[in-house]
Structure 1
Amino acid sequence: MAKETLFAVSLFPYLGFLWFLTRSGQTPRLALIGFYALLVFVAITIPAGLYAKTAYGANLADVDWLHGGAESFLTLSNILVVLGFRQAILDRQLSPMLEP
């Protein structure tokens, strides 16, 4: 199976993951935004890869400024997920202290 096909097919399980995560109502909001932001990374990576191929005749990973720009969206989504779960942990640790 070609890597492009595998990449496209992998979106369907991820969309299912997002659907269940959203419906559960138990995921911290900021973390959920981070998981959705990963779709922005995918949406940026595909055209960046096509541009790298047509403009430079190279893979996206070989065009540093394009690759770094696309990867910054992955970094941002990871930061949002971590901060969201961090806040949920801190809130949970603080909530027993607030009870009478």
Structure 2
Amino acid sequence: MMDLLNKQNLFAISLFPYLGFLWFLTRSRRFPRLATIGFYVLLLFVFVTIPAGIYAKVAYHDELANVDWLHGSAEVFLSVSNIFIALGFRQAMLSAKETR
């Protein structure tokens, strides 16, 4: 049972609910577009981190978190996604305030 619950399996399984979330988010006409893009960039961060982690293991014989230049490069996608999400909700709040 513990082999089934290792971090790689949990990570892979967690993608399915997130893909469902993105599907509903995309179909929603009320969700801020820029925030939606931010959540897709977060998915891009996940897909960039996987090969970066493999490269860190093969080239440096270490975990991604310990290879600063590679880890920082992957984290840029996380930062960009957070900025898009925050700006998207800010834009939506300002827009809602204008319509009052």
TM-score by length of 1: 0.93
Is the helix fraction higher in 1 or 2? 1
**% identical equivalent positions:** 66
Query: Deviation string for 1:22-57 (max 9, x for gaps)?
Result: 112111110000011111101110000000000000
Q: Secondary structure at the match of 2:25?
A: helix
| C-alpha distance in 2 between matches for 1:70 and 1:53 | 15
TM-score by length of 2: 0.93
**How far off its partner does 1:7 sit?**
0.8
Give the RMSD, CA atoms, in angstroms: 0.7
The unaligned stretches of length 5 or more in structure 2 are: none
| C-alpha distance in 1 between matches for 2:82 and 2:68 | 20
Runs of 4+ that moved beyond 4 A? none
Alignment of 1:1-100 (within 5 A): 1-96=5-100
Aligned pairs, how many? 96
The unaligned stretches of length 5 or more in structure 1 are: none
| C-alpha distance in 2 between matches for 1:54 and 1:23 | 40
Query: Deviation string for 1:46-91 (max 9, x for gaps)?
Result: 0000000000000000101111110110010010000000000001
